[in-house]
Amino acid sequence: FLNPVALVFVGSVAAFPIVLFNMLTPMRTERARLAQGYVNMMYGPLILSQIGTLAVVWSSTFWETPKLYFLTLGLMLNVPVMLIWCGCLLCASRYGRYDMMHVEQQRAARARQALKLTPDSEKDADLVDLTEDLQRHAEYLYSV
């Protein structure tokens, strides 16, 4: 999961190009489309933050720059930004659960294909043992 502070800073600077190029990139697999939707869901609302940041930077003078830096640091500890962070963590958690579900389905489908079984012949839990990977989330997702 991405650090929420980094997410807000990156979103305040580059949300529009990230969302634009993400929407222009075609994805072939269901898992890649899920990741694409996650990126759009996270950075889409941050386009407003980018517009606000550009407006503030454009209207500030050179002498106001130090005050702008301190204001930004103070804003990161403000309640609305904390709520944005909590929303981002909820979205990331939702994405993680759906991604794990897709990994389990892919592994079960590959096991059925390797054993030449029909989808209704056995339960997926008996085909693939995923209990050891539940403790190591990164290995579970990136071993597909």
**Cβ distance 13 to 53 under 8 Å?**
yes
> What local confidence, expressed as pLDDT, does residue 24 receive?
92
- Checking if the pLDDT of 59 tops 80, the result is yes
Band (pLDDT 50/70/90 cuts) for residue 49 is confident
The span from the CA of 47 to the CA of 85, in Å, is 15
pLDDT tens figures, 9-26: 777 788 889 889 988 988
Residue 36 identity (one-letter amino acid): Q
The full DSSP string for the chain is: ---HHHHHHHHHHHHHHHHHHHHHS---SHHHHHHHHHHHHHHSTHHHHHHHHHHHHHH--GGGHHHHHHHHHHHHTSHHHHHHHHHHHHHHHHHHHHHHHHHHHHHHHHHHHHHT--TTTS-HHHH---TGGGS-HHHHHHT-
Q: What is the mean pLDDT of the chain?
A: 76
